[in-house]
Structure 1
Amino acid sequence: MDKAADPILQVLHDYKAAVYAKDVDAFVALYAPDILAFDMWDAWTYEGVASWRRMVEGWFGSLGAERVAVDFSEARTVVSQDLAVVHAFVTYKAVSAHGEELRSMDNRITATLRQTGDGWKIFHQHSSSPIDPASTKVVFKR
């Protein structure tokens, strides 16, 4: 990812860093107050930054000593004056306190951002994984 050439890729970089650090404030700061998230887990939607913050606090709090390493691949962006869209494949890897990979899963992610006085903020995010039609189970490996 060439962050200098595409400021939206910097948002992805900051996402990765915040998740690995389990930094709720840094993670939530990537989002607009009116975030609408269609996430893979638990709730049908998360509406507003307070709802999103509660989800993030639960996620990071559930990790214990583990960390999550995030890797984006094939990120593609479209940027206009004050709106941007990014979509990518994302891998989440659980890492032990000793740096060992414990498990991983792949998702697809799309985010829509708007330019604000505080930089680019995500106001809509959608994550998904395909469903195997034979088993109706989620496919977590690309």
Structure 2
Amino acid sequence: MTSTVPATIDEAHIRELVTGQEAAMRARDAEWLASRYAPEAVTFTLAPPLRNADVLDADWLRTWFSGFAGPIDFEVRDLTVTAGEDVAFCHSLNRLSATPQGSPEGFELWFRATVGLRKVDGAWRITHEHTSTPFYMDGSFASAVDLTP
């Protein structure tokens, strides 16, 4: 994880909320991960469907975690935060590595993340999250999961 010194207390809280995902993913802490989102959060994640609200559901997250054998590793890199009084956004490059249940070997995937946040009752909550991988525009339209920073 790379980061700079936070410019404000709000930026520090947002960085903690975003980078806290690293430890929570490794610990498979579904409750903490779900608690970061505002109730009206909209997410566009790597997995179908096109719009996903399941990140709010700790049971769904536990089921997702159960699809992996052994450790899960997660990294947030190059996090940039822009914070106003009650609205903020940030972006980063994230890495997920894990071994799917029943698979003889694991994978490592770098992807892009953009997060929108709003201050709710004095605490920052994620209201929008978009994760994506680029795709090759060579006619194959294959996801470019081989890219690294």
TM bracket, shorter-chain basis: 0.7 to 0.9
| 2:118–2:124 contact (8 Å) kept in structure 1 | yes
1:116 matched to 2:141: no
Aligned residues: 136
- Partner residue, 1:78: 82
Give the Å deviation of 1:102: 3.6
Aligned partner (choices 40, 43, 46) of residue 37 of structure 1: 43
Give the Å deviation of 1:23: 1.0
Q: Cα distance 1:49–1:40, how it changes in 2: closer, same or farther (>3 A)?
A: closer
Point out where structure 1 has 5 or more consecutive residues left out of the alignment.
96-100
**Structure 1 counterpart SS, 2:48:** coil
TM-score normalized by the length of structure 1: 0.83
Aligned residues with identical type, % of pairs? 21
Distance in 2, matches of 1:49 and 1:40, equals 12
- Partner residue, 1:56: 61
Aligned partner (choices 24, 45, 48) of residue 30 of structure 2: 24
Give the Å deviation of 1:117: 2.4
- Partner residue, 2:97: 93
Deviates more, 1:109-118 or 1:32-41: 109-118
Give the Å deviation of 1:131: 0.6
Q: Cα distance 1:59–1:113, how it changes in 2: closer, same or farther (>3 A)?
A: same
TM-score normalized by the length of structure 2: 0.80
Distance in 1, matches of 2:5 and 2:35, equals 18
**Structure 2 counterpart SS, 1:45:** coil
- Partner residue, 1:137: 142
Q: Cα distance 1:70–1:3, how it changes in 2: closer, same or farther (>3 A)?
A: farther
Aligned Cα root-mean-square deviation (Å): 2.4
